């Protein structure tokens, strides 16, 4: 099974890599947006699908990654600014926010993570040094010797490399003993505690890993657009990631990417034919929750109604 999975994965990566050769600029850009949001959604899936933590404030780390990248790249366009600093900043924020939120757990966890991301939203919307409601614009892409990230194909390759890395990291985490403990916590927290596991600490580590990857996704978003706005922090950004994970299938990682594709394609393409895009999305989502909680992946696996 694993060999088959690996082959399928490799095939997908190759297909994605070759895409710009045949397609026009606009579809390639659409794909790139899907890949970036897919990374964001995958990080949320780690939290939701594996650790069982529902966060409505995941956009906090996406936004932090985005803004830190914007501020850093404007001064020093290199990979450190593009990747390292945003990841560190997001990780630190996740550590702090996670520490306070995990303690309370349950529905209060949802509320507190939401509150934190909204606070970031309110702050960035207000202050002029962060561009207020217009955000930061004119952000250059990082300069890597021998690689033109300004070109469509150059950036595409860069994205694929990072996507592969993120996917690999998450895949390893999920398959590791740590990942197994996480799933145990998801299934029966009380039992894991009784067995002596420091449950909160495991959750915090998961939260930080997810936060770091979300931060990288955010910084990629800034690099992709050349700008970042407070919307990145808004709770609907978190909500959209949630939708992507559910539609794709929680606890599958690959599902999150599929969900991102479904969401963005729905948004861009369906809107050409009908104004009622939001209605369709809402209805689709409701139907998935009711009848296909395994999402697209769950349905594909023929296991409708069961979690992966």
Q: Which of 151, 176, 188, 271 binds other proteins (CB under 8 A)?
A: 271
Using rule CB under 8 A, residue 107 touches other proteins: yes
- Kindly tell me which of 116 and 207 has the beta carbon lying closer to other proteins: 116
Residue 200 makes contact with other proteins by CB under 8 A: no
| Rounded Cα–Cα distance for residues 222 and 131 (Å) | 14
Residue whose CB is less far from other proteins, 45 or 167? 45
Is 95 a binding residue for other proteins by CB under 8 A? The answer is no
Alpha helices by DSSP H, listed for the chain, are 2-22, 25-45, 59-75, 79, 85-104, 106-126, 152-175, 177-187, 189-194, 199-225, 235-248, 254-265, 271-273, 277-291, 295-300
Q: Is 225 in the site for other proteins (CB under 8 A)?
A: yes
Nearer to other proteins, 82 or 167 (CB): 82
Q: At what angle do helices 199-225 and 59-75 cross, to 10 degrees?
A: 50
CA dist 19 and 170 (Å) reads 24
Please select the residue that binds other proteins; options are 122, 161, 304, 306, rule is CB under 8 A: 122
Identified binder of other proteins from the candidate list 11, 104, 195, 306, rule CB under 8 A: 104
C-alpha closest to that of 103 among 217, 232, 198: 198
Are the beta carbons of 86 and 146 closer than 8 angstroms?
A: no
Q: Using the rule CB under 8 A, which residue among 8, 11, 289, 304 binds other proteins? A: 289
CA distances from 10 to 4, 6, 41, 98, 294 (A): 10, 6, 20, 34, 24
Q: Which stretch binds other proteins (CB under 8 A): 76-84, 101-109, 168-176, 190-198?
A: 101-109
By CB under 8 A, name the one of 9, 19, 29, 300 that touches other proteins. 29
Please give the structure tokens belonging to residue 179.
């990942």
Helix residue ranges per DSSP H, 139-198: 152-175, 177-187, 189-194
Stretch that binds other proteins, among 67-75, 85-93, 105-113, 177-185 (CB under 8 A): 105-113
What residues make contact with other proteins under the rule CB under 8 A?
23-27, 29, 54, 100, 104-108, 110-112, 114-116, 118-119, 122-123, 125-126, 132-135, 137-138, 225-227, 229-231, 234-236, 239-240, 242-243, 246, 267, 270-279, 281-283, 285-286, 289-290, 293
């Amino acid at each position: 099974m694993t060999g088959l999975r690996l082959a399928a994965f490799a095939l997908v990566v190759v297909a994605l890599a070759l895409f710009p050769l045949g397609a026009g600029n606009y579809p390639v850009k659409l794909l790139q947006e899907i890949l970036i949001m897919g990374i964001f959604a995958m990080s949320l899936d780690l939290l939701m699908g594996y650790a069982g933590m529902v966060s409505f404030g995941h956009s906090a780390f996406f936004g932090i990654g985005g803004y830190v990248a914007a501020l850093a790249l404007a001064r020093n366009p290199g990979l450190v600014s593009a990747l390292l600093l945003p990841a560190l900043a997001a990780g630190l924020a996740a550590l702090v926010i996670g520490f306070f939120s995990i303690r309370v757990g349950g529905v209060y966890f949802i509320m507190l993570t939401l509150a934190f991301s909204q606070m970031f939203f309110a702050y960035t919307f207000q202050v002029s040094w962060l561009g207020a409601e217009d955000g930061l614009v004119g952000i250059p892409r990082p300069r890597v010797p021998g690689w033109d990230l300004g070109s469509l194909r150059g950036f595409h390759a860069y994205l694929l490399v990072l996507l592969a890395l993120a996917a690999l990291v998450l895949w390893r985490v999920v398959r590791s003993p740590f990942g197994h403990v996480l799933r145990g916590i998801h299934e029966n927290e009380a039992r894991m505690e009784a067995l002596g596991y420091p449950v909160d600490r495991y959750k915090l580590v998961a939260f930080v890993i997810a936060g770091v990857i979300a931060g990288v996704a955010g910084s990629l978003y800034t690099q992709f657009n050349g700008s970042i706005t407070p919307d990145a922090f808004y709770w609907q950004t978190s909500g959209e990631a949630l939708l992507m994970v559910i539609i794709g299938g929680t606890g599958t990682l690959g599902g999150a990417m599929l969900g991102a594709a479904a969401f963005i394609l729905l948004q861009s393409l369906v809107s050409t034919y009908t104004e009622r895009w939001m209605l369709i999305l809402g209805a689709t989502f409701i139907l998935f929750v009711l009848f296909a909680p395994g999402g697209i992946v769950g349905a594909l696996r023929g296991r409708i109604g069961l979690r992966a």
